[in-house]
Structure 1
Amino acid sequence: MAQRYGYAYGGDTRIHTISSDTGAIESTLDNVVNNLRVTGRLERPDLIERGELDMPPWGYGDEFDQAAMPPRLSAVASRISTCGLFAVGAVRDLTINGRDHAFFQLDPHVDPASDGPDVFILSLLSSVVLTFTPPDELVPLAQRRREGHEVGLRSWTDRDIDVLVQPRTLLHFSGLARSAWKHAIRSGVQVGTGADAMTCDWWGKNDYLLKRSRERFSMVFAFGPPATAASGGASS
């Protein structure tokens, strides 16, 4: 599936290792960023036009076909919608992300509104700290940290909220957490040297460190609104 429907990250392939003590860049490794992505959302029409990428059969949005999903992922989607804990409508998007070399960085962003109002992320193989950073109305751009070493040690703003996502955890966000607050993953900090070196997340405080595994997969399910009642808030 990944070979036929997935496309690789096309940006900067470098990793900067940041000291957990000073925040300084200790070293830079090139050609190690490996991010494979499969999504029904039309993101790379250029690859499709060149015949280098096929769209996955499940589609996107109003045309999404849950029956065309991989059976196990379809079962997860059905469990979400029928367990009684979440007020959601039909599935509108499935996106699969694979990361390697403990490089899980994700820049702050809000997913397209067309995905749907409820987003669920199933995380596999590695723990990660997902950070929610407030909208510009709460923290203006001029007050945000943008330098990599500053973000690595202090996050983007003092009002950021860290969520610890353990392997096999399902994270749900909706309401303002979905539509206004951006979600992101910091680049991580380097702890130790040589064979003992490892990449860690910090959770809440930059001295509360959690080791990352080498690989991580995330399955992102987005749902449309239910027939009745509005959903809101964030839960995990």
Structure 2
Amino acid sequence: MSQPTLSFEQLRHSAPLALRQYIAAGQYQGHTSGLAQGRVQANIVILPNDWANEFLRYCTLNRQACPVLDVTEPGDPYFRNLGTAIDIRHEVSRYRVYRHGELSEEPSDIEHVWQDDLVAFAIGCSFSFEQPLLDAGIALRHIDLGRNVAMYRTNIDTRPTARLSGKLVVSMRPMQAAAAIQAIQITARMPNVHGAPVHIGDPALIGIDSLSSPDYGDAVPVEADEIPVFWACGVTPQSVVQTSRPPLCITHAPGCMLVTDVLNSAL
């Protein structure tokens, strides 16, 4: 039996376990920005075991973009350190399946592609620092508009390993100058969810041609008295996968995060 349909406002205040169960039941396939407020959200990367150690090295070299929160054992779909009974095959609202770097499908469940050699990584997400920004009185327009955050591929190279390389992806939030300074101070204290911004101001300096055409997520307007503020983004591995072309890689769809039981304050 399907569960009653919940409004976005109800989902914002749902307990994380209840939200994951709602998602696993196929009731919600949208973005998770602003949902289960106060709880850590995570980007997901799933790779065959023979790529997993190298990906972990890649994350170590690029910690601002890829801060690792938890890793599963090969073939085990459960994250043991992020909450109650988190089965990564079912509890993300939308996944992406890449084969040899090409996007092959975008399902709401990945049990049909799960293999006994897969290793799942949970990577810190900027959604986790949004609540401290809101608590400080900093408005976040994508949340006010009910949109996904805007994300862009840049011209900034990440630090490569033997088989993994690619460009940095960033998320953008427009702010007035005083709010941007405050946001830097707040997020710098949260290195497990990308830390301080990597760029402020002219997007062309990091290879972004148009803020109105994000590579991932939804466009949000930038007002005349605002500046765009850019943080390293956990969608970076998807850019890397398309460049490095492992035989199989499963990720979250941009903005569709794993909601954990961990409190943001723990980070």
Normalising by structure 1, report the TM-score: 0.26
Question: Quick check: which one's strand share is greater?
Answer: 1
The higher-RCO structure (CA 8 Å, 6+ apart) is 2
Normalising by structure 2, report the TM-score: 0.24
Higher Rg? 1
Question: Quick check: which one's helix share is greater?
Answer: 2
